[in-house]
Amino acid sequence: MDRGLLIVAHGSRANEAKNVVIEVVNKIQSLNKYKSVKAGFMEFDFPDIPASIKQFVEEGIFDIIVAPLFFV
């Protein structure tokens, strides 16, 4: 079964913060450990978590690992 990885981040009004999350997602995707890697944001940014999960389902991926990524 294909497995996806959802990176959950808070989201920010600062574009730089979203860019860092996207860089992490792209780096993990390049490792080819998961069929698909996506970000889901809790606030401020898109895609939000439900939209990302919907994308996985549309791709036929139902086994999804969720990992938090929060910056302090």
Domains by residue range for the chain, with CATH: 3-68 (3.40.50.1400)
The whole-number average pLDDT for the span 60-71 is 96
What average pLDDT does the chain have? 96
Of 10, 20, 28, 48, catalytic: 10
The whole-number average pLDDT for the span 16-39 is 97
Active site residue 10: yes
Q: How confident is the model at residue 25 (pLDDT cuts 50, 70, 90)?
A: very high
Q: For residues 18-41, b (16+ Cβ closer than 10 Å) or e, as one string?
A: beebeebbeeeeeeeebbbbbbbb
Q: What is the pLDDT of residue 44?
A: 95
The whole-number average pLDDT for the span 41-45 is 96
Indicate whether 1 pLDDT > 80.
Answer: no
